[in-house]
Amino acid sequence: MNAHPVVYLIDDDPGVLRALRRLLQAEAIAVQAFGSAEEFLLAHDPLAPGCVVLDIRLPCLSGLALQQALLAADSARYIVFMTGHGDVADSVQAMKAGAVDFLVKPFHDEDFLAAVRSAIARDEHARAVREEIEAIRWRLTTLTPREHQVLQHVVVGRLNKQIAADLGIAEKTIKVHRARAMEKMGVGTLAELVRKSVKAEAGEHADDPGSPVDRAR
């Protein structure tokens, strides 16, 4: 991933926006500031790495409503919520939907930066996993139907002779298909082959149970 992560900062208080933007910039963290959720949505690029930091109580579209809108649009983001009200019910709802943190104003700079860095790290991890899965799935498309068939038997623990009996072909032929499948999948061991197959099947949230999309299901 070549693009630098961006913190999308959303608050209807201009003073808060200025202070937090300066704090992030002082830490060499790229930031884009918005006064409303609607303004953010007009500029948002879901493909760009980064996270969202927003006030839970915004005019028109609230912070929680924005979180749900991103989920509905399949553009889920790791979100750090801010509030000056300390609403417990809102915080529970936000966290259940995948929020990284819930900061009650006024908060310490260190707590704010720690929450932002955690959200960025989780976003980077999720994108790396997604890229790996896309690469695995591309490799799967290079297999012949027979190689794919043999692979399905291998990953569930079937022996070559068992696969040969099931498919009605010679065991040495199974060995050839298995070797070619492993070469195309870019693996050298059975354990790695199983790991990649399981990851491709499980999808991008297999390594991140706290992801926004997974936790909203």
Contact between 77 and 52 (Cβ < 8 Å)? yes
Which one is predicted more confidently, 156 or 32? 32
Give the tens place of pLDDT for each residue, 10-37: 999 999 999 999 999 999 999 999 999 9
End-to-end CA distance of the chain: 27
Say how far apart CA 1 and CA 99 lie, in whole Å.
23
Contact between 50 and 120 (Cβ < 8 Å)? yes
Determine whether 58 is exposed, middle or buried from the number of CB atoms within 10 Å of its CB (0-12, 13-18, 19+). buried
Q: How many residues does the chain have?
A: 217
Q: How many domains does the chain have?
A: 2
Domain boundary residue, one of 128, 145, 160? 128
What range does the domain containing 56 cover? Answer: 6-128
**What CATH number does the domain containing 109 carry?**
3.40.50.2300
- Please state whether the predicted TM-score (pTM) of the whole model is above 0.85: no
Say how far apart CA 170 and CA 165 lie, in whole Å.
8
One domain for residues 28 and 107: yes
